A and B are shown apart, each in its own frame.
Chain A
Amino acid sequence: MTIAPLVRRVVSLPLLWLLAGFLGTTLIRFAPGFAVDERELDARLTADSVASIRQERAHQTNPVAYYLSFTGGLLSGDLGVSRTLGRPVRELLRDRIPVTARLAGWGLLGAWGVALAAALAPVAWPGYGLRTVTSLAGGLILSIPAAVVALIFLHGNWPREAAAAVVLFPRLHNYCSRTIDHVQALPHVLLARAKGARPVSVLLRHILAPALPQLIALAGVSLSMALGVCIPLEVLCDVPGIGQLAWQSAMGRDLPVLVSLTLLTAAVTMTANLAADLTLFALGKRT
């Protein structure tokens, strides 16, 4: 693998990021209910007031013009003001990003730990039906709505980070365990074992190493998975994080917040994927 494609990628990333913001703006703008406001149904308001509420959206109707002015503001760190919450978007993000980062971070850490352990344990101790047990557990969790998992944790008064880990676990576990199972059945592993290599060495050098590219790519992807999982968890548990904000502003068609969140998600996704690629590149060079 040469460095040129990677360089090209790093250079084009900011453009792609801006494009994501623009496409997001367009999607939101042309979704039904964009121009409406719940207050219009309030019979206590006069026709003039309703007209002026409708007017508040006028500057957002042209997505190109809006996005240009938004990116203009972005340069000076101004993300606009949320319509539904009446606060600067920057403030909202500042308050909420740490909350979600904690939830998603611990959730990912826990999920990865358990998923890797569940994938490797049957390799270390084959013949105890461990694979069946972990797969069934994963299947069970996948068959339960994330909301129900969250509710169970609330009832038990357990940390919601653990709920995030539980919801994320089966989404990672399936990939991990299948990849590792596949690798461990390959001839070189059998050969290493036959040669009498130590189990730890087999595990690290002959099983994990070949599986690493896919696991690293999965690690990059799992970050956006975690963001996705945060939405139902935060909405249900009333955690004032990014996921809850995303849902509320989607329901209010709050354009400045939604565009900012799209850019944030894009930044996280693209950085994570790029980081995964860079790691792979570094690994590729070494071996």
Chain B
Amino acid sequence: MSLAQRIAWLLIAVIVTAAALASWIVPASYDRQFRDEIQAPPSKAHPLGTDELGRDRLSRLLHGTQVSLLLAPAAAFLATLLAALAGTLAGWRGGWLDHALESVCDLTMSLPWMFLLLTVRAALPLDVAPMTSVAITFFLLGALGWAGPARVVRAGARALRDSDYMLMARAQGYRGWRLPVWHLLPGLRPVLTAQFWTSVPLFILAEANLSLLGLGVVEPMPSWGGLLKEMESLPAIGRNPWILAPAVVLLMTLASLYVLMGAKEEEA
């Protein structure tokens, strides 16, 4: 194990433990408003200071991690899985199935899905439990984010299908569903992992944007997306640089996972 991997493991361990033990590490609850300490700088009581409502930033960051770190990768996985399925099926089988999947891809990439999200919000009761709302939001993100990558997967699948490599596999007697699963998917892994890694942060941020439509994490629950959005008042960062903490933690998490996954790929 290289030094980078050790550091990565350590970081992940620290972040996951801290998120799991959030309420134990930071005594202040994420929604407790210390109204006399608005926008306070870091102190012993509040290691990352407080936000505009006097809430402990560290507590919010750790509790936000619980939501985002679990659900964003899950949604990214769903999108990747769908892209893999649609892409390989289309590229591998060709014919009418390819044509149909192509058409569905084109449609999915063209339609104004925002209105579907609005309709979903309208169908949900107003006092839906926060976790349900978050889960639905991430599910929708995953279910709608597959079309573009599916096209890239399909192109790869098609090229591989026609390659000498596949000819060899066929010659060796591989038939039926085993051929794509054992021989096609590994060749497509770069595209799929790229899709996954790009989707995780994008979904984390998209969740925060969906809160504009009344979906996603709602007050007073924190999420990384919501915390990252605080950066939008750019000049405030100069005075309160700790607003950047969520971005730093997110980047550290992504970088660590990236290093570890990279290692897995090399081993494989």
Do A and B interact directly, with beta carbons closer than 8 Å?
yes
Which residues in A have some Cβ–Cβ distance to B below 8 Å? 1, 5, 8-9, 12, 16, 19-20, 23-24, 27-28, 30-33, 135-136, 139-140, 142-148, 151-152, 155, 170-171, 174-175, 177-179, 181-182, 210, 213-214, 216-218, 220-221, 224-225, 246, 250, 258, 261-262, 265-266, 269-270, 273, 276, 280, 284
- Chain B hits for A266, CB < 8 A: 106-107, 110-111
User: Assuming A20-B107, A147-B229, A214-B191, what are 19 further A-B pairs, CB within 8 angstroms?
Assistant: A1-B162, A5-B95, A8-B99, A20-B111, A24-B112, A27-B115, A27-B116, A27-B119, A135-B258, A143-B201, A143-B204, A145-B231, A147-B232, A174-B194, A214-B152, A214-B159, A221-B149, A266-B106, A269-B106
**Measured between alpha carbons, how far is A152 from B244 in the docked complex, in Å?**
14
- Chain A hits for B98, CB < 8 A: 5
B159 touches A175 (CB 8 A): no
Chain B, interface size: which category? 35 or more
User: B250: CB under 8 A from chain A?
Assistant: yes
- Chain A hits for B151, CB < 8 A: 217, 220-221, 273, 276
Given A5-B98, A144-B228, A145-B205, answer yes or no on A12-B109 (Cβ-Cβ < 8 Å).
no
**Measured between alpha carbons, how far is A177 from B228 in the docked complex, in Å?**
27
A152 touches B162 (CB 8 A): no
The distance from the CB of B191 to the nearest CB of chain A, in whole angstroms, is 6
List the 3 closest A-B pairs by CB distance, nearest first.
Answer: A217-B155, A266-B110, A178-B190
- Give the most central of A145, A179, A181: most B CB within 10 Å: A145
User: B105: CB under 8 A from chain A?
Assistant: yes
User: B122: CB under 8 A from chain A?
Assistant: yes
Given A5-B94, A16-B103, A147-B232, answer yes or no on A182-B110 (Cβ-Cβ < 8 Å).
no
B158 touches A213 (CB 8 A): yes
Which residues in B have some Cβ–Cβ distance to A below 8 Å? 94-95, 98-99, 102-103, 105-107, 109-116, 118-119, 121-122, 148-149, 151-152, 154-156, 158-159, 162, 187, 189-191, 193-195, 197-198, 201-202, 204-205, 208, 228-229, 231-232, 234, 247, 250-251, 254-255, 258
Given A145-B229, A221-B151, A273-B151, answer yes or no on A178-B194 (Cβ-Cβ < 8 Å).
yes
Given A144-B228, A179-B190, A214-B191, answer yes or no on A171-B198 (Cβ-Cβ < 8 Å).
yes
A174, A270, A284: which contacts B110 (Cβ < 8 A)? Answer: A270
- Chain B hits for A145, CB < 8 A: 205, 208, 228-229, 231-232
**Measured between alpha carbons, how far is A265 from B106 in the docked complex, in Å?**
10
Given A140-B251, A179-B190, answer yes or no on A20-B201 (Cβ-Cβ < 8 Å).
no
A182 touches B189 (CB 8 A): yes
- Chain A hits for B204, CB < 8 A: 143
A175 touches B110 (CB 8 A): no
**Measured between alpha carbons, how far is A139 from B259 in the docked complex, in Å?**
12
The distance from the CB of B231 to the nearest CB of chain A, in whole angstroms, is 5
The distance from the CB of B106 to the nearest CB of chain A, in whole angstroms, is 5
A179 touches B155 (CB 8 A): no
Given A143-B251, A214-B156, A276-B155, answer yes or no on A20-B110 (Cβ-Cβ < 8 Å).
yes
B103 touches A155 (CB 8 A): no
**Measured between alpha carbons, how far is A225 from B251 in the docked complex, in Å?**
22
B148 touches A139 (CB 8 A): no
B155 touches A214 (CB 8 A): yes
**Measured between alpha carbons, how far is A20 from B109 in the docked complex, in Å?**
10
A12 touches B103 (CB 8 A): yes
- Chain B hits for A262, CB < 8 A: 110-112
A142 touches B202 (CB 8 A): yes
- Chain A hits for B149, CB < 8 A: 221
Chain B residue, CB-CB nearest to A253: B115
- Give the most central of A155, A177, A217: most B CB within 10 Å: A217
**Measured between alpha carbons, how far is A178 from B204 in the docked complex, in Å?**
22
B106, B118, B158: which contacts A273 (Cβ < 8 A)? Answer: B106
The distance from the CB of B137 to the nearest CB of chain A, in whole angstroms, is 16
Mind listing 21 A-B residue pairs with CB under 8 Å?
Answer: A19-B107, A20-B111, A24-B110, A24-B112, A142-B198, A143-B228, A147-B232, A174-B198, A175-B190, A175-B194, A178-B193, A217-B152, A217-B156, A221-B109, A221-B151, A262-B111, A265-B112, A269-B109, A273-B106, A273-B151, A284-B162
B231 touches A20 (CB 8 A): no
The distance from the CB of B179 to the nearest CB of chain A, in whole angstroms, is 18
Chain B residue, CB-CB nearest to A187: B165
- Chain B hits for A16, CB < 8 A: 103, 106-107
**Measured between alpha carbons, how far is A20 from B102 in the docked complex, in Å?**
13
**Measured between alpha carbons, how far is A261 from B250 in the docked complex, in Å?**
35
- Chain A hits for B111, CB < 8 A: 20, 23-24, 27, 262, 266
**Measured between alpha carbons, how far is A266 from B110 in the docked complex, in Å?**
5
B247 touches A30 (CB 8 A): no
The distance from the CB of B169 to the nearest CB of chain A, in whole angstroms, is 15
- Give the most central of A20, A139, A250: most B CB within 10 Å: A139
B155, B159, B254: which contacts A143 (Cβ < 8 A)? Answer: B254
